[in-house]
Amino acid sequence: MGAQIRVYRQKIVSTTSMRKIFKAMELIATSRIGKARARVSSSLPYANAITRAVSAVASQSEIDHPLTTEPEQIRRAAVLIMTSDRGLAGSYSATVLKQAESLMELLREEGKEVKPYLVGRKAQAYFDFRGRPYEQVWTGGTDAPEFETAREIGRVLLEQFNTDYDDGGVDEIHVVYTRFRSMVTQEPTVIRLLPLEVVEEEAATESDLLPLYEYEPEPERVLDALLPRYIESRIFAALLQAAASELAARQRAMKSAGDNATELIKKYTRLRNTARQAEITQELSEIVAGADALNAS
């Protein structure tokens, strides 16, 4: 009986230590998510402005640009998958990977070859564990992304898109990430990055009409300059959305883990007290039985 009490006492101590860790991680995620949401909000004006500029050039000019023209046949697609570097964020990465698997399966059913590009160690571990190939991976700082990372990803994907199919290039590019809606709602999202689908983060109003431009130099050269920056801004916006979603998911997961640890501590405390009461009862019974034996003798 004493051994059982020691087991429950050890479980209470270890669970209490784990609860402290969960609480600390919850507080860290809570303190960082405000900054992450602010970065998402501050990125929207630039993203929307460059989106409107690209929209104006692409829609008001009779031009045939490789990045805005749908190819006759799409044979190979690149899929950029954004997960986290660290765990303890609930089903955050698993949900993104599930969405990416559905997309890649759909692309293969359409007869397209898929080239995965990964962001985050969770995606890398997922592909490595299954022995599946991927083209390139970017890790480090998924919960605090830097623009240089988005620039490098955009450069690699644009090079692949501008490369001929016979030389290993791709005909379209998709991005799978988690869109931050609120602290309790984050949804996995798929966008087609190229060929260009001009999408603004916020719906336009009737007064939000595209301006009329006269181009100097010609519109093709304007698009050559704008589209790489547009792609970078879209990728960076997706990284920021994913970072905010990761922190929100981790905050919820750590709070849930802390609450579960509290319930476990209560359970182990009751079991320890029950075991202690049973031990005391047994000792009293042995004392009474011994005294009765002495009296009888």
Confirm whether 284 is domain-assigned. no
Q: pLDDT digit string (tens) for 44-80?
A: 888 778 877 777 776 655 666 666 777 778 899 999 9
The C-alpha torsion from 150 through 153 and 159 to 160, rounded to 10°, is -140
Confirm whether 115 is domain-assigned. yes
How far is it, in rounded angstroms, from Cα 241 to Cα 262?
A: 32
Confirm whether 293 is domain-assigned. no
Q: Could you tell me the pLDDT band of residue 205, with boundaries at 50, 70 and 90?
A: very low
What pLDDT score was predicted for residue 185?
87
Poorest-confidence range of 3-7, 92-96, 127-131?
3-7
Which domain does 188 fall in, by range?
Answer: 25-198+213-252
Confirm whether 175 is domain-assigned. yes
What pLDDT score was predicted for residue 183?
86
Q: For residue 126, what is the domain's CATH number? A: 3.40.1380.10
Answer whether 134's CB lies under 8 Å from 104's CB: no
Confirm whether 287 is domain-assigned. no
Q: Which of 191, 197, 203, 188 is nearest to 230 (CA)?
A: 197
Q: How far from 45 is each of 38, 254, 262, CA to CA, in Å?
A: 12, 33, 44
Q: Considering Cα of 100, then 103, then 109, then 110, what sign does the dihedral take?
A: negative
Poorest-confidence range of 79-88, 168-177, 223-232, 250-259?
223-232
DSSP 194-229: ETT----SS---TT-PPPP---SS-HHHHHHHHHHH
pTM here is 0.82
- Which two structure tokens, joined as six digits, stand for 144? 């605090």
How many distinct structural domains can be found in the chain? 1
Confirm whether 275 is domain-assigned. no
